[in-house]
Chains A and B, each alone.
Chain A
Amino acid sequence: MTRHFSLTRRGFLASVAAGGFALGFRIPAAAQDAATATTELNAWVVIHPDDTVVIRVARIEMGQGTLTGLAQLVAEELDADWEKVTWEYPTPGQNVARDRVWGAFGTYGSQGIRASQQYVREGGAAARAMLLQAAANRWGVDPATLTVSKGVISGPDGQTLRYGELAAEAAQVAVPAEIQLKDPSTWTIAGQPVKRLDTMGKLDGSQIYAIDMKLPGMVSAAIRQAPVMGSTVASFDAEAVMGMPGVQKVLQIDNDAVAVVADTWWRAKTALDALQIEWTESEHANLSMADIHAMLDEGLRSEDAFVGTQAGDVSAAVQNAANVVEAEYYFPWQHHATMEPMNATALVTADRCEVWVATQDAEAELAVASEASGLEIPQCEVYRVHLGGGFGRRASSHEYTRQAVLIAKEMPGTPVKLIWSREEDMIHGTFHPITKARMVGALDDQGNLTGLHMRISGQSILANLMPFMLEEGKDPFTFQGLNPDGEEGQFGYTVPNLLIDHAMRNPPVRPGFWRGVNNNQNAFYLETFMDELAHAAGRDPLEFRRAHMANHPRHLAVLEAAAEGIGWDTPPPDGVFRGLCQHMGYGSYVAAAAEVSVDDRGQLTIHRIVAATDPGNVVNPQQIEAQIEGSFAMGLSAALHGEITVEGGRIQQENYDTYPVITMWEMPAVESLIRPSGGFWGGVGEPTIFVAAPAVLNAVFAATGKRIRQLPLDSNSLRS
């Protein structure tokens, strides 16, 4: 899967830090690999003599379809034959060695396509131009007289040459100085609902995920990390389990974990379960949800808060209001619960450290491998193995890799596979942040929203994970989707007196980036409250929103599309009720409408969802549909069932029995309306997840008159 390049060429970690990189089509030192006669035209495109086109993918595939989408974009500009396209991942070591020719590997923030589309398309277009020039040279004609279709170049006299025949010569041609990219309206590969490139191995068990790694002589490790946050290893009785079947080693990792190494993982885990470990008393040993709720409640009323968006004078608007509406909301911690638990395989020798891992950021893993092994970056390498889900969990906090390397360091020359049990995975998650909100709305006598105060109280991801990104203490990510301007996530309403602020309260439970990130609670707070305001004003929720959206035509367009799709203007079937909402995040505009019913016992049925999205440009509509469907599964899981809690300093949920997720019987039908308005590139993997909860909860209100302000819905009774 991975072709190797000279790692000694130039530029190591410094270039990673520098971040800049040239257009991705520098000619490598050794353009031609004699053994296989494959030709690298540039960093993105490799062509085999049999016309197979290998497209290099720097971002990671974790189910979201990015791999196929990026390959479509390169193949489109290349005019490749899609039937002959395959792909490979370069390694982060190769990226470092080649001055980061592939740019960023990090795959999060719905950036996989939007942040790399420009340079990967340029890579495809440059390769195409070089192939054309090579053909023109052979035939002694002007390249402008040539045409290309599906990897075959035709000359003015009807002569043809295949890409596979020309690749070696094309690699010697000068890189074009100027590149013209195609207008998306002319695309034939990109923009099409092509099938994914990575399905085959997922049908017969042959796809290797990180947890499936096998290396000669490999051993396996199971680990127990301090169950109570903040406590450390006091002692453990290694001797007592050393005689158990297959056990090779029992060792402490850092100050807060103990690992058992055995010939198989099951034996390692069995011995670990038998191992007595004493932990030190932690300062958090009495931490409970009551403390955390009190901390957040205090923040709801605190004088001090970081201001996100401000306009006019909210206090005055509230004073002069004909009607003031107030409500408090709660969005609990959520776990990613990727189906594949965290794991990593490491092989360390005196002068080399190699890691095989499922990761959303292989370059960060490379730095972790270097740091944990004590070896220099050029002595380390990370191989990207398929991910059994990411959702943000594998984007930061790569402690499983650190642990695997630390164990492997104690067993030089022996590959070690470390697998976290599901229980370790859940207890030691990086959770969707916990927050509450206090919403105050001022309505005038016409039922128009004249003032809105949205106070968010709670956890900051950046303060915990990336404090260097704080702006004088403020976490700007907290305001995702609520920004007054910009292309990333704009507040979709015009309210003359507006204050959105954040009282940062950080309980000692580790937060992380969770699909949709802060947009999830922000959309839940804002869009259910907008529904409350509409009802308080006696206005239709669509009409009420529309009245405040004149300056936000793209937000409004998707909202109206979703409303039309659900049939908002016609009455729903008997016993069925509707709700809707909209939000903008990761550069895309999304909206949803839901139809639900609630029976006499309070059992909710979600019959139907219509979701509209405007991501600007569309690379693969059927993959967007898949992401929209998946977003409802995950977003509704959180809204209906998801809550991570802490008592006695310990996470209470350990597996899917106590952290339930949606299964087939609860999954609604989802109809996707993809409405690209062009001219920009928005994300796809995350945006729709934010509108899942509010659309359904607004419909639940319509059905029951019960306003769900505390998630998950399971903690509420719908008929009492």
Chain B
Amino acid sequence: MPRITVNGTVHDVDAEPETPLLWVLREQIGLTGTKYGCGIAVCGACTVHIGGMATRSCQVQLQDITPEDEITTIEGLSPDRTHPVQQAWLEVDVPQCGYCQSGQIMAAAALLANNPNPTDEDIAAEMTNICRCGTYNRIRAGIKRASELL
């Protein structure tokens, strides 16, 4: 049975090798914070970290993952919602419907890990996730605020 490591816990997974990581997370492991939006790498709702890299989990198949790959989902970003991005999101009141926000937060956390003081241009270049509610300006403000909290 394939074995993967998510948020520090090892799971044996009953799924076909081609199954996208997104659906392994949601349906096999029961972590539904990672969302399905498009399934074709466009929307970013499914963003997780693999080895710290923001990755669209709908495009990664179970067979491409080894137990050594450290996968972090929104549920594992911090034990108590205290990651600077989560704190900033709360301060700025970023989410509307919230459906895209797991992916946005994971993308923003990865961006800040590589670039603790991003400019507006850096943010626009890196944050390509869709938010249909249109929270982009608050996401930008949230990233700036999180950068101060780092």
Would A663 and B38 be within 8 Å (CB), given that A203-B89, A626-B138 are in contact?
no
Would A663 and B32 be within 8 Å (CB), given that A340-B99, A630-B134, A670-B137 are in contact?
no
Would A266 and B99 be within 8 Å (CB), given that A212-B32, A634-B134, A655-B40 are in contact?
no
Interface positions, chain B 87-125, Cβ under 8 Å from A, are 89-90, 93-102, 105, 123-125
Complex CA–CA separation, A267 to B32 (angstroms): 17
Interface positions, chain B 26-77, Cβ under 8 Å from A, are 26-28, 30-40, 42-43, 45, 73-75, 77
Tell me the smallest distance from the CB of A630 to a CB of chain B, in Å.
3
B98 touches A205 (CB 8 A): no
Tell me the smallest distance from the CB of A58 to a CB of chain B, in Å.
19
A205 touches B32 (CB 8 A): yes
Q: Residues of B contacting A327 with CB < 8 Å?
A: none
B105 touches A663 (CB 8 A): no
Tell me the smallest distance from the CB of A44 to a CB of chain B, in Å.
24
Complex CA–CA separation, A670 to B138 (angstroms): 11
Tell me the smallest distance from the CB of B77 to a CB of chain A, in Å.
7
Q: Residues of B contacting A622 with CB < 8 Å?
A: 93
Complex CA–CA separation, A633 to B130 (angstroms): 10
Complex CA–CA separation, A632 to B131 (angstroms): 12
A205 touches B127 (CB 8 A): no
Digitize A164-200: 1 where CB-to-B-CB distance is under 8 Å, 0 elsewhere: 0000000000000000000000000000000110111
A669 touches B137 (CB 8 A): yes
B39 touches A421 (CB 8 A): yes
Stretch of A62-70, A91-99, A344-352 with 4 or more beta carbons under 8 angstroms from chain B = A62-70
Q: Residues of B contacting A388 with CB < 8 Å?
A: 35, 97-99
A205 touches B42 (CB 8 A): no
Digitize A209-240: 1 where CB-to-B-CB distance is under 8 Å, 0 elsewhere: 10110100000100000000000000000000
Name B22's closest neighbour in chain A (CB-CB). Answer: A266
A422 touches B39 (CB 8 A): yes
Q: Residues of B contacting A340 with CB < 8 Å?
A: 35, 37, 97, 99
The reply on A665 being an interface residue by CB < 8 A is yes
Would A265 and B73 be within 8 Å (CB), given that A205-B34, A339-B130, A661-B132 are in contact?
no
The reply on A446 being an interface residue by CB < 8 A is no
A663 touches B128 (CB 8 A): yes
Name B16's closest neighbour in chain A (CB-CB). Answer: A245
Q: Residues of A contacting B36 with CB < 8 Å?
A: 211, 341, 419, 422
Q: Residues of B contacting A265 with CB < 8 Å?
A: 23, 27
Name B37's closest neighbour in chain A (CB-CB). Answer: A339
Tell me the smallest distance from the CB of B31 to a CB of chain A, in Å.
7
Tell me the smallest distance from the CB of B23 to a CB of chain A, in Å.
4
Complex CA–CA separation, A622 to B132 (angstroms): 19
Would A630 and B86 be within 8 Å (CB), given that A202-B98, A204-B81, A665-B124 are in contact?
no
Tell me the smallest distance from the CB of A447 to a CB of chain B, in Å.
38
B37 touches A202 (CB 8 A): no
Name B43's closest neighbour in chain A (CB-CB). Answer: A656
Complex CA–CA separation, A634 to B136 (angstroms): 11
The reply on A337 being an interface residue by CB < 8 A is yes
Picked from A205, A386, A390, A661, the residue with its CB within 8 Å of the CB of B31 is A205
The reply on A37 being an interface residue by CB < 8 A is no
The reply on B133 being an interface residue by CB < 8 A is yes
Name A668's closest neighbour in chain B (CB-CB). Answer: B137
Name A196's closest neighbour in chain B (CB-CB). Answer: B93
Complex CA–CA separation, A204 to B100 (angstroms): 12
Complex CA–CA separation, A265 to B20 (angstroms): 12
The reply on A524 being an interface residue by CB < 8 A is no
The reply on A662 being an interface residue by CB < 8 A is yes
Q: Residues of A contacting B86 with CB < 8 Å?
A: 203-204
The reply on B147 being an interface residue by CB < 8 A is no
Tell me the smallest distance from the CB of A252 to a CB of chain B, in Å.
25
Tell me the smallest distance from the CB of A420 to a CB of chain B, in Å.
11
Name A421's closest neighbour in chain B (CB-CB). Answer: B39
The reply on A667 being an interface residue by CB < 8 A is yes
Tell me the smallest distance from the CB of A12 to a CB of chain B, in Å.
32
Name B134's closest neighbour in chain A (CB-CB). Answer: A633
Tell me the smallest distance from the CB of B42 to a CB of chain A, in Å.
4
Tell me the smallest distance from the CB of B68 to a CB of chain A, in Å.
24
The reply on A389 being an interface residue by CB < 8 A is yes
The reply on A160 being an interface residue by CB < 8 A is no
The reply on A207 being an interface residue by CB < 8 A is yes
Complex CA–CA separation, A211 to B36 (angstroms): 9
Q: Residues of A contacting B5 with CB < 8 Å?
A: none
Picked from B90, B125, B135, the residue with its CB within 8 Å of the CB of A630 is B135
Q: Residues of B contacting A64 with CB < 8 Å?
A: 96
Q: By CB atoms of chain A within 10 A, which of B45, B132, B137, B138 has the most?
A: B132
Would A664 and B96 be within 8 Å (CB), given that A264-B27, A655-B40 are in contact?
no
Would A206 and B33 be within 8 Å (CB), given that A64-B96, A266-B23, A339-B132 are in contact?
yes
Number of A-B contacts (CB under 8 A): 181
B130 touches A661 (CB 8 A): yes
B102 touches A205 (CB 8 A): yes
Tell me the smallest distance from the CB of A616 to a CB of chain B, in Å.
23
Q: Residues of A contacting B124 with CB < 8 Å?
A: 664-665
B32 touches A208 (CB 8 A): yes
Complex CA–CA separation, A655 to B95 (angstroms): 23
Complex CA–CA separation, A339 to B97 (angstroms): 9
Complex CA–CA separation, A645 to B140 (angstroms): 33
Picked from A266, A341, A629, the residue with its CB within 8 Å of the CB of B134 is A629
The reply on B4 being an interface residue by CB < 8 A is no
Q: Residues of B contacting A657 with CB < 8 Å?
A: 38, 40, 42
A655 touches B38 (CB 8 A): yes
Would A391 and B132 be within 8 Å (CB), given that A200-B81, A203-B89, A669-B137 are in contact?
yes
Q: Residues of B contacting A195 with CB < 8 Å?
A: 90, 93
B75 touches A63 (CB 8 A): no
Complex CA–CA separation, A162 to B95 (angstroms): 33
Complex CA–CA separation, A390 to B86 (angstroms): 24
B32 touches A629 (CB 8 A): no
Complex CA–CA separation, A680 to B128 (angstroms): 40
Name B40's closest neighbour in chain A (CB-CB). Answer: A655
Q: Residues of B contacting A309 with CB < 8 Å?
A: none
The reply on A653 being an interface residue by CB < 8 A is no
Tell me the smallest distance from the CB of A208 to a CB of chain B, in Å.
7
Tell me the smallest distance from the CB of A215 to a CB of chain B, in Å.
13
Q: Residues of A contacting B123 with CB < 8 Å?
A: 664
The reply on B6 being an interface residue by CB < 8 A is no
B27 touches A63 (CB 8 A): no
Would A209 and B93 be within 8 Å (CB), given that A629-B135, A632-B134, A655-B40 are in contact?
no
A63 touches B97 (CB 8 A): yes
The reply on A52 being an interface residue by CB < 8 A is no
Tell me the smallest distance from the CB of A229 to a CB of chain B, in Å.
23
Q: Residues of B contacting A630 with CB < 8 Å?
A: 96, 133-135
Q: By CB atoms of chain A within 10 A, which of B35, B125, B140 has the most?
A: B35
Digitize A388-408: 1 where CB-to-B-CB distance is under 8 Å, 0 elsewhere: 111100000000000000000
B99 touches A339 (CB 8 A): yes
Complex CA–CA separation, A630 to B97 (angstroms): 11
Complex CA–CA separation, A264 to B29 (angstroms): 12
Complex CA–CA separation, A315 to B118 (angstroms): 60
Q: A265-B27, A266-B27 are in contact. List 8 more A-B contacts (CB 8 A).
A: A203-B86, A204-B33, A205-B75, A209-B32, A211-B36, A338-B97, A422-B40, A663-B127
6 tightest Cβ-Cβ pairs between the two chains A and B: A205-B33, A633-B134, A388-B99, A63-B97, A202-B98, A63-B96
| A interface residue numbers (CB < 8 A to B) | 62-65, 195-196, 198-209, 211-212, 214, 220, 245, 264-267, 270, 337-341, 386-391, 419, 421-422, 622, 626, 629-634, 655-657, 661-665, 667, 669-670
Q: List 20 A-B contacts (CB under 8 A).
A: A64-B96, A198-B98, A199-B89, A204-B75, A205-B31, A205-B32, A207-B98, A209-B99, A339-B45, A339-B100, A339-B130, A339-B132, A631-B134, A632-B134, A633-B132, A633-B135, A655-B42, A656-B42, A657-B40, A670-B137
